[in-house]
Structure 1
């Protein structure tokens, strides 16, 4: 089976597959086998590929093992931690969203980065809604005290409210599709939650730090009542306090 993630990362880097081989110390045919036959390199070679392409090694080869594998005492629902949200591959967001078949839940401050990083995300969400995938999308109300407070803490006075208004305008058409709900919130969002079926991305919020610089945790539901369920239960409690989109 072809490794589409690796092929896409090589293309994005501007290299040819055979050039990547030379750059990491193997011949071109070996690199071609990684892509077209789905073979997995040795861990040290995989780490060199990861550094050369600027993409996490376990994104390119999810089943890879070696010295960088997580400790045994990690929660079973834990997939990986990105020190900054901006370090997560753009393809990850698109792949999880595209693969969702039963639910898409998003709780964020503005969520505008989704459109900035993947310009066709509105069309993708619309298609998902039209295909019958329930969507719940909650973002901060532009005039809420919580948003004003966060803007002051991040030194984004005025800018954050403008982004919130832009996000509502961008995503509002999706809320008109049956099965999709678009709402605003006026509560303090202690983290942003992006759930796609049994995968979830949790963007933690830090005082005075913009969200793209804050940590992002990838969770996958493997246990009943585990870390994944803890976060989704919090989403459900938050959703109850949200408000349908309406006049300011």
Structure 2
């Protein structure tokens, strides 16, 4: 069976067999076997390819790294743990947005706290014009999942849905000008995810607490680690099932 993840990553980044062969110092036929026969490259070759396509070794070759080694790498992916979302320094949010060069992906129900930043729309528009892909996933305000979460937070059944509608109105200009793609989801949201290239802020959801009072993990992707990839794949799964908002 071909290594479809490797094939897709190379195609997405515009690399052919000759370029990969040159970067890794092997014959193009060897690269072809890595792709078509799912052969596992040596570690130095895996690292080189992972850097080229900006993916982790774990994503491209899930079984290549021993479980014990993967466990140790994963521990190192956690940069910081904050007891509450409001404990995350504003400077860190600004830094992560500013440093993003390829990808800003956000999975939330409403994320209404983001609208407190009066320059956010302007900043995201500038990032998009610089080539950053921006994807925003908000809850479907008509969904039972949003209503249930609103009740669990103790703020009333319709309150969170109203916040979602306000957030959609706030971000709508980005969608209308093509600076961001926005979708609405109907998932039970266990975590809010804020991705900036190879860094994540994961706001865990705790029953009975508003998201602002729940912990946040700052995670930085390391080649061979599992933690970043787990949340990245979770985002993609929700994105694939989500629909454009009904403005």
One fold, TM greater than 0.5? yes
- TM normalised by structure 2 equals 0.68
Q: Partner of 2:76: helix, strand, or coil?
A: coil
Tell me: CA distance 1:148–1:84, structure 2 relative to 1, closer, same or farther (3 Å). Answer: same
Q: Indicate if the aligned counterparts of 2:77 and 2:222 stay in contact, CA closer than 8 A.
A: yes
Q: Deviation of residue 74 (structure 1)?
A: 6.8
Q: Deviation of residue 73 (structure 1)?
A: 8.6
Q: Indicate if the aligned counterparts of 1:175 and 1:182 stay in contact, CA closer than 8 A.
A: yes
Moved more, 199-208 or 150-159: 150-159
Ranked by relative contact order (alpha carbons within 8 Å, sequence separation 6 or more), the top structure is 2
CA distance, structure 2, for counterparts of residue 124 and residue 111 of structure 1: 17
Q: Partner of 1:244: helix, strand, or coil?
A: coil
Q: Indicate if the aligned counterparts of 1:193 and 1:235 stay in contact, CA closer than 8 A.
A: yes
CA distance, structure 1, for counterparts of residue 210 and residue 82 of structure 2: 15
Q: Deviation of residue 180 (structure 1)?
A: 1.9
Q: Name 2:100's counterpart in structure 1.
A: 100
CA distance, structure 1, for counterparts of residue 185 and residue 234 of structure 2: 14
What pairs with 1:2-41 in structure 2 (closer than 5 Å)?
A: none
> How many residues end up aligned between the 2 structures?
175
Q: Partner of 1:75: helix, strand, or coil?
A: helix
Q: Indicate if the aligned counterparts of 1:77 and 1:223 stay in contact, CA closer than 8 A.
A: no
CA distance, structure 1, for counterparts of residue 125 and residue 96 of structure 2: 15
Tell me: CA distance 1:74–1:131, structure 2 relative to 1, closer, same or farther (3 Å). Answer: closer
Q: Name 1:66's counterpart in structure 2.
A: none
Q: Indicate if the aligned counterparts of 1:142 and 1:165 stay in contact, CA closer than 8 A.
A: yes
> Unaligned stretches of 5+ in structure 2?
1-71
Moved more, 119-128 or 210-219: 119-128
CA distance, structure 2, for counterparts of residue 178 and residue 213 of structure 1: 33
- The answer as to 2:151 corresponding to 1:152 is yes
Q: Name 1:122's counterpart in structure 2.
A: 121
Q: Name 2:142's counterpart in structure 1.
A: 143
Q: Partner of 1:93: helix, strand, or coil?
A: helix
CA distance, structure 1, for counterparts of residue 74 and residue 245 of structure 2: 40
CA distance, structure 1, for counterparts of residue 118 and residue 188 of structure 2: 28
Tell me: CA distance 1:73–1:133, structure 2 relative to 1, closer, same or farther (3 Å). Answer: closer
What pairs with 1:167-182 in structure 2 (closer than 5 Å)?
A: 167-178=167-178, 180-182=180-182
Q: Partner of 2:148: helix, strand, or coil?
A: helix
Describe the superposition over 1:113-137 as per-residue Cα deviations: whole angstroms up to 9, x where unpaired: 1121x22111111111122211110
Q: Indicate if the aligned counterparts of 2:73 and 2:224 stay in contact, CA closer than 8 A.
A: no
Q: Name 1:36's counterpart in structure 2.
A: none
> Unaligned stretches of 5+ in structure 1?
1-71
- 4+ long deviations beyond 4 Å: none
CA distance, structure 2, for counterparts of residue 225 and residue 75 of structure 1: 8
